[in-house]
Structure 1
Amino acid sequence: MSSAGEVTPKPLPFMYQFASGAIAGVSEILVMYPLDVVKTRQQLDMTNAYKGTINCLKKIVKEEGFSRLYKGISAPILMEAPKRATKFAANDEWGKVYRNFFGVSTMNQSLATLTGATAGATESFVVVPFELVKIKLQDKTSRFNGMGEVVKDIIKNNGVFGLYKGLESTLWRHIMWNAGYFGLIFQVRSLMPKPKKASEKTMIDLTCGTIGGTFGTALNTPFDVVKSRIQAGSTKYIWTWPSLFMVAREEGVAALYKGFIPKVLRLGPGGGILLVVFTACMDFFRTIHG
């Protein structure tokens, strides 16, 4: 993920990319998870019971207790390592593939976007089961107490492939977010002055990652709303695009952005945290790798 005109750093072996992504992902989820719970609640709310992010937070704490804001965190924690590791490792690996295929030595805007979209599709196959379990635990009407109960119930009623319910909508969600995130990071970074100190590099990474995360969230929120409803178990929503039109027709276009505020509050700064921690880990591993 280099700026325009810079030579792309020599990629590290996959295990270093995987470890850096895993550390970055767990760091982000520990800080931002309550906002993910609020986001899911708002996306599943078809009666307008929640009047905004703060109201939703207050209602959850008042009616269900503070600990409810962290219910289901075991699934994301287990998911974050492979999810974020796959995101960044796939982005680097696909970047190498596309640079070789197109015969270029440096990344450009189009390749950054294409690489991000492909990395998002790759990531989707890893995260679907974890996302499905998380949604079922975060739902207010959930009758499950933990991951094991959810997985057992899904396999009992739908078989192992039931764990991949919502794969198609997840593909759309991750393709859109990663394309926006990595594509915009490249563009913003190319406009930034070259850092002279480590602190300047950190601030640039934080700024680029936050802007990229915000843009990616604006692109993929409608797909995320539909994905949440499909995975929550509603038989009304099956395929992504018909579901998008159904929500817009029945609840208004604004309903496609339910949960946007907590989502962007999480994934905007969260995208910055991800990039800063990932870059710092990769820089560290480059020093020990020689």
Structure 2
Amino acid sequence: MSGDTRPLPFVYQFAAGAIAGVSEILVMYPLDVVKTRIQLQVGTGAQAEYSGIVDCVTKIVKNEGFSKLYRGISAPILMEAPKRATKFAANDEWGKFYRKQFGVTEMNQSLAVLTGATAGATESFVVVPFELVKIRLQDRTSKYTGMVDVVTKTVKNEGILAMYQGLEATLWRHIVWNAGYFGIIFQARALLPKAETPSGKTVNDLISGAIGGTVGTLLNTPFDVVKSRIQNTVKVPGVTPKYNWTYPALAMVYKEEGFAALYKGFLPKVLRLGPGGGILLVVFTNTMDFFRGVYYKD
């Protein structure tokens, strides 16, 4: 963690979160496409279209073209700036709020988990419409031509509130991931040897961020599976969707496909969010350090 922890105005936190988020998605996005494809397939074993990451990437490139690995990236690019900015800014602001409420001056493990969970809930309200667009574009059978087409047809055929379909599942996904992520990086940073150089700090941030991202992914993947299925379901008037609410959907996936199905897409997800969490943390902390140098310049 940086030795300089002087506070910065919200606009700097927002900008640093945006830069970190966009940097991460540009590097790791193809794994998100693979994750969604695997999560949306209902079959298991020999019935599954994709047997794993390599098989999925190979079939996408062979049958659909390399560009499909970046299918729907416009929505995440537009989403990542406010999403990541909200994540880190909300984590910082909620942290200040809880420290004041509980009368403590330093963050501890329990407050780190509580703060992360609350920041995740805050973040969810920003990301749901973008996630819905992304999921519907990433689906192999998608008939949409692009982001605007998804929004137009969804609002026209299902109503404007349909853009927030899957909000409940997204809340659970983000609360659990952020609680795990911010809780673990707090503990990991405390356990790692104190960095004496900028390069040592970067290594510590990469390690703690990757561990946090991995643990968060382990905890929230079942919620991510049902969120993908809920958001990819086009609602028809008078028909109750198969996947509608989080916990009934979790029970249905478990009953029909087994426990392992709740972790469909886990490997590409953890490969993205583990290293991605490290990239995110390194870029964010270094950007904040740069901004502090500018803001507090004598």
What TM-score do the two structures reach when normalised by structure 2? 0.94
Q: Of the candidates 263, 269, 292, which is equivalent to residue 286 of structure 1? A: 292
Q: Which residue of 1 aligns with 2:9?
A: 13
Map of 1:157-168 to 2, 5 A cutoff? 157-168=157-168
3-state SS in 1 of match to 2:78: helix
2:119 corresponds to: 119
Which residue number in structure 2 is paired with residue 43 of structure 1?
Answer: 39
1:253 is aligned to 2:255:
no
Q: Distance in 1 between matches of 2:168 and 2:159?
A: 18
**Contact 2:6/2:292 (CA < 8 Å) preserved in 1?**
no
2:5 is paired with a residue of what secondary structure?
Answer: coil
Task: Check the 8 A contact 2:75/2:133 in 1, yes or no.
Answer: yes
Alignment of 1:132-151 (within 5 A): 132-151=132-151
Shift of 1:166: 0.3
Matches of 2:101 and 2:292, distance apart in 1: 26
Amino-acid identity (%): 72
Displacement of 1:247 after TM fit?
0.4
The answer on whether the counterparts of 1:226 and 1:243 sit within 8 Å (CA) in structure 2 is yes
Q: Which residue of 1 aligns with 2:210?
A: 210
Q: Does 1:27 align with 2:48?
A: no
Q: Deviations over 1:228-280 (max 9, x none)?
A: 00000162000001110110111000000000010000000000000000000
Measured in 2, the distance between the counterparts of 1:128 and 1:253 equals 26
Amino acid at match of 1:280: N
Flag structure 1 segments of 5+ consecutive residues without an equivalent.
Answer: none
Partner of residue 87, structure 1: 87
Cα offset, 1:11, TM superposition: 2.3
Partner of 2:277: 271
Residues 151-176 of structure 1: CA deviation (Å, up to 9, x unaligned) = 00011112221110000000000001
Q: TM-score, normalised by structure 1?
A: 0.97
Give unpaired runs (5+ residues) of structure 2: 235-240
CA distance in 2 between partners of 1:262 and 1:219 (Å): 15
SS at match of 1:264: helix
Task: Please give the alpha-carbon distance, in whole angstroms, between the structure 1 residues aligned to 2:291 and 2:5.
Answer: 13
Aligned residues: CA RMSD: 1.2
Shift in Å at residue 192 of structure 1? 1.3
Task: Name the aligned partner's letter for residue 102 of structure 1.
Answer: F
Q: Which segments of structure 1 move beyond 6 Å, counting only runs of 4 or more?
A: none
**What is the CA deviation profile of residues 194-217 of structure 1, one whole-angstrom value per residue up to 9, with x for unaligned ones?**
211000000000000000000000
CA distance in 1, matches of 2:254, 2:54: 25
Aligned residues: 286
Matches of 2:229 and 2:288 in 1, distance apart? 37
- The amino acid of 1:109's aligned partner reads Q
**Is contact 1:11-1:92 (8 Å) kept?**
no
Q: What is the distance in 2 between the residues matched to 1:55 and 1:67? A: 17
User: What is the deviation of 1:10?
Assistant: 3.3
Q: Which residue of 2 aligns with 1:61?
A: 61
Q: Which residue of 1 aligns with 2:238?
A: none
Amino acid across the alignment from 1:71: R
